[in-house]
Each structure stands twice: as C-alpha cells, then as structure tokens.
C-alpha cells in the first residue's frame, strides 16, 4: 500500500511547483467554503470584474485610453444599469413576488379561484378534465377510477405541492431576499472592489503571482490559456442569455396579460443557469398561473404554444449561437457539477458550476505526469536516434 501511494505521489507531484499549486487550490477552496460570510463580497466582485474585463479591454483597444479611464467608464455604465433596474424593475418584481406568495398561501388553503372559472373550485375543474380523459381510455383502466377517487388524488396532490412550495418560499427564498443589511453591504462594497480590481489588474496579478502562486508557474502557463477564453466566453454568453430570455418571455407574458409577468419572466431567464432542470422547474408555476387565470380556454392553449415555441428557439437557435465553443461536458458531468457546487455555494455555485467543472477537468488532463514526461523523453530520444542513423547512411552513400 505504501509503495502504491509513493508511486502515485511520484507520478503526480514530482514536478517542480505542483505541490505548491495544489496547496494554493486547496487553500482557496477551504477559504471560500468556510469563510464565505467574510470573503463573499470579494468573491462576487471578482466574478463580476472577470465578466466586465472584456469591456475594459475593448475600450482600451478601440478608444486608445488608459486602463483607469476605461475602468471608470465601464463602472459608470454598469452602476447606471444596476440603478435603473433597482428603480424601475426590482419594485415591480418584489410586488409581484409578494402577491404570488400570498396567492400560494391562499391556494394552499383551498381558497383559490380563477377569474374565468366562477362558482367552481379549480380542483373540480382539473378532476373533471382528468376523469373525462380516463373514461375515454380502454378497459380495464376506465373502470379502475371513480370521480371521487380522481377528486381526492387531485386535491391531495395540489395540497402537497402548494404546502411544500409555501415552505420553500418562506424558509429559503424570503430570508435571502429580505436580508437588507447584507444587500446594502454588497451594494456599497462590491462596486468599490470591482473598480479597484479592473483599474489595478496588472498590479494585483503581479502580486498574486509573486506572493501566492509557486515560483515554477509552468503548469499555470500550460492550462490557463486553454480555459480562460472558454470560461470568459461562457460567463459573458450566459449573462446575455439570461437577459434575452428574461426580456423575451416577459414581453410574451405581458402580451397575454398573464399575472406576475415580470416575476415569471425573470424566473424563466434565471432558469437557463440550470441546464435541463431549470426549464422543468420554472414551467410548473407558469402552467399553474396560466391555468388558474385562463382555464382550459383557447387563450390558455395559445399561450402554451407561444411558450413552447420560445423554449424551442432558445434550445435550438439561441443557445448554439451563444455557446458555439462548447465546454465539452456531457449531461452527467453538468448535472453532477450543478448538484455539488450548488450545494456548496448556492446560486453562485450553480451559476459557475460548468466553468468550475471545466477548470477541474482541464486541470486533471494537463496536470504534470511523470509517465508522460518519460514517454516524451523516450520519443525524443528515438527521433534523435533515427535522425543520426539517417545521417550516417547518407554519409556512407556519399
């Protein structure tokens, strides 16, 4: 056993700088995991600065200005957009969120009624529709359920879903939204950190390379350029993806007069952060709200058709266009990364799960390996021997 561990250590950590770099990665993980309450603003500012660095570089390249001035312009535009969202969009979303929460509580207590379904409980409407579908099925399925059984199943299912949804909103969502002190601190501290990171990028990078990273930085120079462009393109594309989907769905919901249009539109936009699962999760409240508001009418089916068309255009046109340089991750790796990093760091873990998974995969592939080095040296020796033999043969022929 000791021999196996020794061989494994020699294979992966015999190259200069590998141990130091591994300790830096472990220290960064432990710091973020255990002290996120302390370094949270710094981590958020680092992520946002990484997203805005391309805008600073573009301003420097096209307008021939200093980095300080370019960073100032980018931060002014960014803060202006954030203030506009807080003044015009956020109050509407918070208002609709409060109304939606009240309706969910009301609906969970068997008191919800639709404007288009008068004097009739929504449970009875759904159970009648389901029972009519069951009656049309062949025997013995049609005779296995009575109308009372279907009504009980629908009532119990709706009560279970709404009670759990109420608990999730009360225990998970509302505390994070209503923590005003944390939001106020982030609103003040994060922009300051962002401006300092953008304007002093070269100085901070030099200090990081000098005092934090190992002296032998060959490993970093090998794998970082390979994933930097991919991660930067992914984050920039994902931000644009969220914006486009939120605006498009909000406009569609407002066109149909759907209740909570801003809230649900933002929810659809944020759902693209979670591949595969997010679209399924956000579809449930959208279907419930539209069904309660429109009933099984023509407007409901037209709304459902438009929503499906938007989802198809998103998955087949917009997503391939924004993410043409794929992360080379299969569905299992993506879902596993979302589950692991989301459990560790919440929303930011989910948002950065795919870049983090790509970073780890690239790190594993390009980590220095003694076996690879020996193989490369043998190939180089063989090539040199072959060249020497060819040169000797040519000399003898002459």
pLDDT digits (tens, 9 = 90+) for 341-368: 888 877 778 777 888 887 887 777 777 7
pTM value > 0.85: no
| pLDDT tops 50 at residue 234 | yes
Residue pair 57/255 in contact (Cβ under 8 Å)? The answer is no
Percentage of the residues of the chain whose pLDDT score is greater than 90? 18
Average pLDDT, the chain: 77
What number is the average pLDDT over the span 21-26? 83
Rounded Cα distance, 303 and 299, in Å: 6
| pLDDT tops 50 at residue 395 | no
Rounded Cα distance, 96 and 99, in Å: 5
What number is the average pLDDT over the span 31-40? 81
305 closest CA partner among 255, 267, 247, 259: 255
* Predicted confidence (pLDDT) per residue in 276-335, tens digit: 778 888 898 898 888 888 877 888 899 999 999 999 998 888 887 777 555 567 778 888
| H helical segments located in the chain | 2-13, 18-34, 36-63, 67-84, 90-108, 122-135, 147-168, 174-178, 180-199, 201-211, 218-256, 261-271, 277-294, 298-313, 319-322, 331-351, 353-366, 370-397
pLDDT band at 377 (very low <50, low <70, confident <90, very high): very low
What number is the average pLDDT over the span 193-216? 83
pLDDT at 379: 41
Q: Which of 58-67, 104-113, 129-138 has the lowest mean pLDDT?
A: 104-113
pLDDT at 310: 93
Rounded Cα distance, 247 and 240, in Å: 11
Rounded Cα distance, 385 and 390, in Å: 9
Residue pair 150/137 in contact (Cβ under 8 Å)? The answer is no
The domain limits of the chain are: 15-203, 217-371
Query: Using CA of residue 345, residue 348, residue 349, residue 355, what is the dihedral sign?
Result: negative
Of residues 322 and 167, the one with the higher pLDDT is 322
| pLDDT tops 70 at residue 149 | yes
Dig out the tokens for 388 from the structure.
């020497």
Rounded Cα distance, 290 and 4, in Å: 61
pLDDT at 320: 76
């Amino acid at each position: 056993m000791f021999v196996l561990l020794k061989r494994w250590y020699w294979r992966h950590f015999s190259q200069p700088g590998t141990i130091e770099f591994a300790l830096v990665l472990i220290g960064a993980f432990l710091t973020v995991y255990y002290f996120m309450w302390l370094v949270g603003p710094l981590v958020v500012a680092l992520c946002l600065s990484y997203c805005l660095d391309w805008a600073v570089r573009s301003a420097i390249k096209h307008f021939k200005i200093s980095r300080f001035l370019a960073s100032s312009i980018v931060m002014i535009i960014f803060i202006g957009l954030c203030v506009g969202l807080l003044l015009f969009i956020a109050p509407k979303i918070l208002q609709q969120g409060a109304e939606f929460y009240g309706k969910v509580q009301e609906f969970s207590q068997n008191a919800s009624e639709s404007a288009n379904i008068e004097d009739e409980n929504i449970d009875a409407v759904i159970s009648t529709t389901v029972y009519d579908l069951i009656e049309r099925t062949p025997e013995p399925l049609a005779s296995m359920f009575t109308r009372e059984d279907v009504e009980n199943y629908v009532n119990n299912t709706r009560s279970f879903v709404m009670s759990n949804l109420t608990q999730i909103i009360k225990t998970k969502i509302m505390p994070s939204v209503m923590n005003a002190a944390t939001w106020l601190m982030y609103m003040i501290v994060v922009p300051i950190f962002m401006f300092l990171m953008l304007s002093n990028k070269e100085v901070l990078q030099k200090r990081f390379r000098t005092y934090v990273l190992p002296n032998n930085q060959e490993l970093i120079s090998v794998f970082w350029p390979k994933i930097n462009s991919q991660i930067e393109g992914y984050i920039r594309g994902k931000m644009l993806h969220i914006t486009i989907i939120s605006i498009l769905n909000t406009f569609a919901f407002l066109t149909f007069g759907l209740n909570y249009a801003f809230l649900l539109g933002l929810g659809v936009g944020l759902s693209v952060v979670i591949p595969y699962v997010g679209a399924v999760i956000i579809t449930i409240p959208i279907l419930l709200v539209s069904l309660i508001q429109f009933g099984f009418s023509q407007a409901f089916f037209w709304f459902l058709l438009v929503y499906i068309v938007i989802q198809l255009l998103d998955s087949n046109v917009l997503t391939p266009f924004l993410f043409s340089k794929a992360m080379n991750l299969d569905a299992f790796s993506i879902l596993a990364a979302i589950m692991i990093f989301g459990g560790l760091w919440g929303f930011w873990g989910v948002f950065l799960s795919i870049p983090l998974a790509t970073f780890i995969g690239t790190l594993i592939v390009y980590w220095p390996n003694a076996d690879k080095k020996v193989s490369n040296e043998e190939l180089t020796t063989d090539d040199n021997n072959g060249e020497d033999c060819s040169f000797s043969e040519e000399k003898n022929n002459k």
